[in-house]
Each structure stands twice: as structure tokens, then as C-alpha cells.
Structure 1
Amino acid sequence: MDDCVFCRIVAGTATADLVAETARVVAFCDIAPITPGHLLVVPRAHGSGLADVSDDDAAAMTVLARRLAVALRDTGLRLPGPERRPGPTGRWRRLRGHRRTGTGGGRHGGRNSDIGGGSMTGSSATGGGRDREGAPITGTNLFLADGVSAGQEVFHAHLHVIPRYAGDGVRLRTGERTSTPDERAEVAERVRAALGDG
């Protein structure tokens, strides 16, 4: 699709820092990283959301994301000092998916400040957690926003590979209420019915 920036990256008509590719998927550096080394994995075939992505492409995204997560730990990347961290004035950006900010070569990002509940958020170096300048990568978050309410802004399915560093200030907010056994049973029943035999 000509109006899809990720399709243009896949086709080579928009600039991106590619790190890996297979017959089905392409991985490149996020231009507005949550942490240093933040990568995106996208299928070559355009699919706006998960419902439009084939099982083979979804599997290929996950396989490459796992390989990238393992490789990132061997890169020697370290948590920079607060003045060199991603985001405005040294603040970590909140995970929001991507917004196309123009038609210029390779502009595939942009962040809003919040996605509401269940989001991954960042804090400034002076807030939330001890600062660990020079910390190595010790973990990974995989994140996929599917749909507007999930924070998706570029409608070409993409999987974020976000390396984590001790003291990076990024945190995942989850619900504070525990569901009841009846609620979980109802959800499980509805999902099984929706899956059917497929």
C-alpha cells in the first residue's frame, strides 16, 4: 500500500535502519525508542491488524522477535545517562504505538503521551526507580498494539521488541482488580466458542 509507511520500508522506498529480514518479515530500529535498541518487526504482506495477518506471518514475527531479543543481549548496549535517553528532555516516552508524522523518507514514528490502562510507561530519570546509568540489557518486553483502543497508530501490524535495563524507569501497568472465578470461567467459555474448531 502506497500510503503505508511500513509497506514503503518493506519495499525499500522509505528509509529505515534494517537489522534483519526473512521471506515473511522485516525488522528495523524504532525512530522513537522506548529504550536503546527498541526494534520493530513487521510482516512484508500488509495487514492492518492481527485479524489480517496470516498464521505463518504471525509465527514468523514471533520467531524473529525471539531471535532479536536474544541477540540484543549480546550487543553491548548500555543504559545511557539521563541527558542521552530517548524522549523529550530526557524523559522516557510512554508506549503508544506509532503515528505517521509526515511523508518524508523513513518517518515512521511519533508518540502521544498516554494510552490509558494496561500501558507501558516511562518516567523521568529523577522519578520512578533508581537510575542505573551503564546498566546492560537484562530483559525484553514484546508489545503489539492491535486496534485504536489498544494504541495502534500505524495500521500495518507490528511487534515491538523493547530491551530492558535495570533502573530504566519503564514499567508495565496492569489492572489492580482481581477477577472472580465466575468471570474467568465466562471469559474462557466465550473465547472457546469464538475460536470454534479453527
Structure 2
Amino acid sequence: MSRTDCVFCRIVAGDAPADIVYRWPDAVAFVPLGPVTEGHVLVVPKVHVQDATEDPYTTGLAMSAAAELGRTMWPCNIITSAGELATQTVFHLHLHIVPRREGDGLALPWTTGERR
């Protein structure tokens, strides 16, 4: 995929608009379209990696950045998906940092208590 085909690559390059929250040498954090809670941000690596399984080193750098930022948003969920069946919709590695608050109304799909 070329940089011009990937919206996150365009954001990293400054060629697409985004509300940038923080920059690291290897990653960028910005507010997603339609945040699910107040403070929700995405962390993406500056290099194009399809998902968390493609390049463990780059995934580690992005997770390190997300963990650093997540410390300022605690408690939070740090979530990523790998593949369409896992609900990935943008195929550039991205980590959601979702701050949580009492009564925020956000239910995660695995909180039903059911076991398979």
C-alpha cells in the first residue's frame, strides 16, 4: 500500500487533517473520528505496518508510545485489532487508547460473562 492510499500514512505525513495529540520519534497520537469516550485517541506508527502481527518490532514501539500516553489517561483500555474478522477497518496498525470513567456506557464485547 502506498502512503497516498492509507489515511493514517497521510496523517503521519501531514497530508491529511487530524487533531494531533502527541508525537514520538516512531509514532503519532491523534483523535479519531467519532471517539467512543472523551479523550479517546489513536496511536499509529510512522511507518506503514498493516497490523500488530506484521512487524513485532514496530508494534512494540507503537505499544510503548501507547503505554506512555495511557499512563496519563488511566484507567483506560488499550485496544488493537488484526484483520477484518477481528474488526480492523483501517489496515495500518493503530492502538486505541480509551479512557474509562464510571458510567461511561461503553460495554466491551467480552464483558458478558459468557465463556466459550
TM-score (norm 1): 0.53
Q: Is the 8 A contact 1:40 1:161 kept in 2?
A: yes
RMSD value, Cα: 1.5
Which residue does 1:13 correspond to in 2? 15
SS for the counterpart of 2:50 is coil
How far apart in 1 are the matches of 2:7 and 2:50?
12
Matching residue of 1:40:
42
Task: Please report how far the alpha carbon of residue 70 of structure 1 lies from its aligned counterpart in structure 2 after TM superposition.
Answer: 1.9
Q: Which residue of 2 aligns with 1:145?
A: 81
Deviations 1:1-47 (A, max 9, x none): 21100000000000111111112111111121010100000011101
Give structure 1 stretches of 5+ with no counterpart: 74-138, 179-198
Q: What is the DSSP-based 3-state SS (H/G/I as helix, E as strand, rest coil) of the residue aligned with 2:100?
A: strand
Question: Shift of the alpha carbon at 1:53?
Answer: 2.6
* Identity rate, percent: 42
Aligned ranges for residues 45-124 of structure 1 at < 5 Å?
45-55=47-57, 57-72=58-73
Deviation, 1:72, is 2.9
Gaps of 5+ in 2: none
The DSSP-based 3-state class of the residue aligned with 1:165 is coil
Cα deviations by residue, 1:124-158 (Å, 9 ceiling, x for unpaired): xxxxxxxxxxxxxxx20011011000111111010
Distance 1:39 1:166 in 2: 19
Distance 1:47 1:61 in 2: 11
- Secondary structure of the residue that 1:47 maps to in structure 2? coil
| Cα deviations by residue, 1:66-105 (Å, 9 ceiling, x for unpaired) | 12122235xxxxxxxxxxxxxxxxxxxxxxxxxxxxxxxx
Q: Does the 8 Å CA contact 1:140/1:163 hold for their aligned counterparts?
A: yes
- In the other structure, the counterpart of 1:165 is 101
Letter in 2 for 1:155: F
Q: State how many pairs are aligned.
A: 112
Q: CA deviation at 1:54?
A: 4.2
TM-score (norm 2): 0.88
Q: Does the aligned pair in 2 maintain the 1:53–1:157 contact within 8 Å?
A: no
